[in-house]
Structure 1
Amino acid sequence: ISLGAGLLQYAAQDLRWLSLLPGAAGAALLVPAVLGLLPRGTYRAARGLPSVVLLRGVAAGSFIAAESFVPLMLVTQRGLSPTLAGFSLAAGGVTWALGSWVQSRPRMAPHRERLMTLGMLLVAASIAATPSVLIDAVPVWTVAVAWAFGCFGMGLVIASTSVLLLRLSAPEEAGANSAALQISDALSNVVLLAAGGAAFAALGGGTVAHTTATAAGSASHPAAFAAVFLPMAGVALAGVWVTRRLRSV
C-alpha cells in the first residue's frame, strides 16, 4: 500500500506523459491491496460498516487536501505572512475539540447519524467558502471563520466514525476494522492530496508555489486554487450522502 500510494503521489507531481508509468504501477499495487484490507463494499458505500469506513476517508481526505493549500493561497494571493496565514487555521483546533466533545455527550448518542450529516455539510460549506478570499473585496478573516466551522464539523464526524465502527463490529473484529478505518483515512489523504496537487499544477499553480511572499502580487492564479477547493467541496458533499447509509438497515 505504501509503495503504491507513494508512486501515485510521485506521478501527480509531474504532468508529463512519462508520469503515467509510475501512476499506473502505483494503481496496480494499491487497488488489490486496499480492496483486501477494507470491508467488502466500502467503495460502493454498502450500508453499515463499509460506509463508516468510506466516510472516514471522504471526510479526512477532502478536508486535509483542502487545508494544505490554505496557507499558500493566503500568502501568495492575499500577501499575508506565513505566520498570519497559519493563525487563520489555529481556531480550528478549538472548534474541532468542541465538535468532538459535543458528539460525546450521552444525550447525543441517539442522534449520532444526524450529527455526522451536519458535520459533513459544515465541512463541505467551509471548503467551498474558503476560495472566496481570492476576491479582493472579501476580507481575509473569512477563511478563519469558515475553517472554524469546518473543524467543528470534522470534530463531529471523525470521532463519531470511531464510535460507530466499534458499535457495528463484533468484538473479535474490532481490531481489524479499526485498522481499516485508519487505512481509509491515510489513503484518502494521499490520493486526494495528489489529485488536488495535479489539478493545481495543471492550471499554473507551479508558478504560484515558487512565488515568494514579497512578490505575491505578481503571480495570481485563482483558477489553480479553485481547482483544488471546489472539487474537494464536492467530495465532502458526497460524504453527506454516505452519512445516510451508516445504519445496517
Structure 2
Amino acid sequence: AAAGVALLVPAVLGLLPPGTWRAARGLPSVVLLRGIAAGSFIAAESFVPLMLVTQRGLSPTLAGFSLAAGGGTWALGSWVQSRPRLEPYRDRLMSLGMLLVAGAIAAAPSVLIESVPAWTLAVAWAFGCFGMGLVISSTSVLLLQLSAPEEAGTNSAALQISDGLSNVLLLAVGGAAFVALGGGTVTHVATEVTGSHPGAFAAVFLPMAAVALIGVWVTTRLRSPRG
C-alpha cells in the first residue's frame, strides 16, 4: 500500500492546480477542499453500518436506514446553497458545512457508549449530509467562477481527481487503522454480534473528524486577496 501511494501521489500532483497541497488561496484551495470533504466523510460513512451492526446489534437493514435520511438532507443542502440571495454568503455556508461534517463524524463513535441511543447517529449523520450538500455543490460552483473559460474543463477534471484520490487515500488510511486496532476480528454470526474492539471504530472516526476540521480552515482561503 505504501509503495502504491508513493507512486500515485507524485503522478497526480501534476494534474492538480499548483499550490493545492499547501492550500494556496483561490482555486487550489477549492480543489483541496473538495478532496477533504469527500474523503473524510465517505471514509467515515463506510464504517457506520458495520459499527451499528457489530457494536449495537442492529440488523443490516436498520443500520442501512440510519443513513437514509442523509440523502434528503444532502439534497436540501445543495438546494440551499443554490439560492441567489445566499450567493454573497457562499464562503460562510461552506464553513458551516464543514463544521457540520466534522461534528457528525466526531459524534458517530458516541454510539459505542451503550447509554447513547443508536438513533442519535442517524440524526447526526443527517446534519453531516446537509453540510456535504452545502460544500460539495459549492465547490463546483466556485471552481467555475474562479476559472477562465478555456480552463474550466481542466479545472473541473482536477476537482474530480481530488475527490476520487482523497476517497481512496483516506479510506485506505482508515481501514489500516481499523485493522491495526483489531477491527478485522469483528464479526457478525447469525443473531449473535461480537465486537470487542470499539476502539478500532474510534480510530477511524476521530481522525476523519480532524481532517474535516482542517477543511474548515481551508474555507477561509477560497478567495484570492483581491476576491
TM range (shorter): over 0.9
1:219 is the counterpart of 2:195: yes
Structure 2 residue aligned with 1:242: 218
For 1:89-139, what per-residue CA distance to the aligned partner results, in whole angstroms no more than 9, with x for missing partners? 000000000000000000010000000000000000000001100000000
Match of 1:152 among 130, 154, 157: 130
Contact 1:79 1:213 in 2 (8 A): no
Q: Is the 8 A contact 1:76 1:212 kept in 2?
A: no
Identify which of 183, 191, 197 aligns with 1:205. 183
Q: Please give the alpha-carbon distance, in whole angstroms, between the structure 1 residues aligned to 2:120 and 2:57.
A: 15
Cα deviation, 1:181-224, whole Å, max 9, x if unaligned, reads 0000000000000000000000000001x3336221x3221100
Give the whole-Å Cα distance in 1 for the aligned partners of 2:105 and 2:142. Answer: 25
**Equivalence map 1:1-249=2 (5 Å):** 11=1, 23-24=2-3, 26-208=4-186, 210-212=187-189, 214-216=191-193, 218-249=194-225
- With over 3 angstroms needed to count, the CA separation of the structure-2 counterparts of 1:37 and 1:78, relative to structure 1, is same
CA offset digits 1:149-191 (Å, max 9, x no partner): 0000000000000000000000000000000000000000000
Deviation of the 1:33 alpha carbon: 1.3
CA contact (8 A) 2:53 2:188 kept: no
What is the letter of the counterpart of residue 189 of structure 2?
T
Q: Which amino acid in 1 is paired with 2:195? A: A
Computed over aligned residues only, the root mean square deviation of the Cα atoms, in angstroms, reads 0.8
Over 6 Å off, 4+ runs? none
Structure 2 unaligned runs (5+)? Answer: none
Segment of structure 1 superposing worse, 27-36 or 192-201: 27-36
More helix as a share of residues: 1
Q: Tell me the secondary structure at the aligned position of residue 14 of structure 2.
A: helix
Contact 2:26–2:223 (CA<8 Å) still a contact in 1? yes
Three-state SS of the structure 2 residue aligned to 1:211 is: strand
Alpha-carbon shift at residue 32 of structure 1 (Å)? 1.9
Residue 94 of structure 2 contacts residue 135 of structure 2 at CA under 8 Å; is this kept in 1? yes
- Give the TM-score taking structure 1 as reference length: 0.89
Aligned residues of 1:62 and 1:192 also touching (Cα < 8 A): yes
Aligned residues: 225
Structure 1, gaps ≥5 residues long = 1-10, 12-22
Deviation at 1:31, TM superposition (A): 1.9
Q: Percent identity?
A: 84
Distance 1:200 1:160 in 2: 32
